[in-house]
């Protein structure tokens, strides 16, 4: 068994226009001051990283890594959640998702997809240059608008959608393989990979690609009422990244999993800071440790109530208190005996 690494923090929700959140060095110093030892970097934010440069210049990658190390932190993973989303976008969402793309490719879905694919490939090479072996992203979605089948889905629609999704991701996965990096899809509502079954359907289309791995975030499963503990039992070999994010689901006579188009604070299912929701993190950390999870525990802050700085401060301590330092001895070693074949056979009544 291995001790999970952490605590770490995903910087995406904390970047801002005022110090210490507007500069990579200052936000790293802030994170270190709270007790974090790792940072997950959003690659779409130029204040954090020049992704193309990190892919093309080992010197730049070394300098970035060195600066972060000087702050007392390690890079856990790079993230291309926004770019990964744009690898596959249904036209119904074009206008909304154009916000994730540069002006040069907006209103041009083909160019936007090509840009997104290149961005994710840059992340593969940048990860290699930084000495990372896992990468966090989204799958994108061609089918999400049909997740509730009314009118009923035409025969073959889902199969065709996953075939196309696999076709788009296969060359990306192959490139990640060349770079020695796992692609960790965050299983998330709004993506075509939103639960275990959809992940398995995707795996089939990419020939069970060894690099098609998982970012485990239980908060999304609480909102879906999916058994997030059994999920670890089923997919632990593929879990290579982990977001510590809490959530709660409190259905009423007026709303349930779909939320009635309400704001986050008024939904039956909503995200919370670690420790404030319903996720059983004690069991999760135990399960991941049992299965030799080798990655990081990364806090992602998404809470409709608590101030982010309070969530970060409490989150560092929360993760630290849940990480299990693994034992190197069995609790009953004191009563053990040396191996003795003759004695063992006598105990079995064979001699």
pLDDT at site 330? 73
pLDDT at site 327? 82
Task: State how far the alpha carbon of 173 is from the alpha carbons of 167, 183, 188, in Å.
Answer: 10, 7, 19
CB-based contacts of 298, cutoff 8 Å, min separation 6: 6, 8, 9, 10, 38, 40, 76, 77, 241, 242, 243, 244
The number of distinct structural domains making up the chain is: 1
Residues of the domain holding 306: 5-347
Determine the Cα–Cα distance for residues 186 and 193; give it in Å rounded to an integer. 8
pLDDT at site 144? 97
pLDDT at site 331? 67
CATH number where 51 lies:
3.20.20.150
Q: Is the pTM of this model over 0.85?
A: yes
pLDDT truncated to tens, each residue of the chain (351 aa)? 899 999 999 999 999 999 999 999 999 999 999 999 999 999 999 999 999 999 999 999 999 999 999 999 999 999 999 999 999 999 999 999 999 999 999 999 999 999 999 999 999 999 999 999 999 999 999 999 999 999 999 999 999 999 999 999 999 999 999 999 999 999 999 999 999 999 999 999 999 999 999 999 999 999 999 999 999 999 999 999 999 999 999 999 999 999 999 999 999 999 999 999 999 999 999 999 999 999 999 999 999 999 999 999 999 999 999 999 998 877 666 667 777 888 888 888 887
User: Phi and psi (nearest 5°) for 174?
Assistant: -65, -40
Sign of CA dihedral 215, 217, 223, 228: positive
Residue 41 has which token pair? 């970097």
């Amino acid at each position: 068994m291995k001790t999970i690494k952490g605590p770490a923090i995903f910087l995406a929700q904390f970047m801002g226009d005022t110090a210490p959140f507007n500069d990579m060095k200052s936000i790293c110093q802030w994170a270190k001051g709270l007790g974090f030892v790792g940072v997950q970097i959003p690659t779409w934010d130029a204040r954090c990283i020049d992704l193309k440069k990190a892919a093309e210049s080992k010197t730049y990658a070394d300098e970035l890594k060195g600066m972060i190390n000087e702050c007392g932190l390690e890079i856990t993973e790079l993230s291309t959640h926004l770019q990964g989303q744009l690898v596959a976008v249904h036209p119904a969402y074009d206008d909304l998702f154009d916000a994730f793309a540069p002006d040069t490719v907006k209103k041009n879905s083909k160019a936007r997809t090509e840009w997104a694919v290149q961005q994710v490939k840059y992340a593969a090479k940048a990860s290699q240059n930084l000495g990372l072996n896992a990468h966090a992203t989204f799958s994108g979605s061609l089918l999400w608008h049909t997740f509730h089948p009314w009118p009923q889905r035409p025969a073959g629609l889902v199969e065709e959608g996953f075939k196309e999704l696999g076709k788009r991701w296969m060359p990306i996965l192959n490139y990640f393989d060349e770079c020695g990096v796992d692609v960790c899809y965050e299983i998330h509502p709004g993506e075509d990979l939103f639960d275990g079954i959809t992940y398995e359907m995707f795996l089939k289309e990419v020939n069970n690609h060894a690099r098609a791995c998982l970012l485990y975030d239980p908060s999304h499963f609480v909102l879906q009422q999916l058994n997030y503990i059994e999920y670890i039992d089923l997919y632990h070999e593929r879990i290579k990244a982990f977001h510590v994010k809490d959530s709660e689901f409190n259905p009423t006579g007026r709303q349930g999993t779909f939320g009635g188009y309400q704001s986050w604070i008024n939904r039956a299912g909503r995200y919370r800071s670690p420790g404030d929701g319903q996720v059983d993190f004690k069991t999760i950390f135990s399960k991941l440790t049992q299965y030799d999870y080798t990655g990081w525990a990364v806090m992602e802050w998404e809470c409709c109530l608590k101030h982010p700085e309070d969530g970060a401060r409490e989150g560092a301590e929360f993760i630290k208190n849940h990480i299990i330092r693994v034992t190197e001895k069995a609790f009953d070693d004191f009563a053990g005996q040396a191996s003795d074949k003759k004695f063992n056979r006598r105990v079995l009544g064979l001699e």
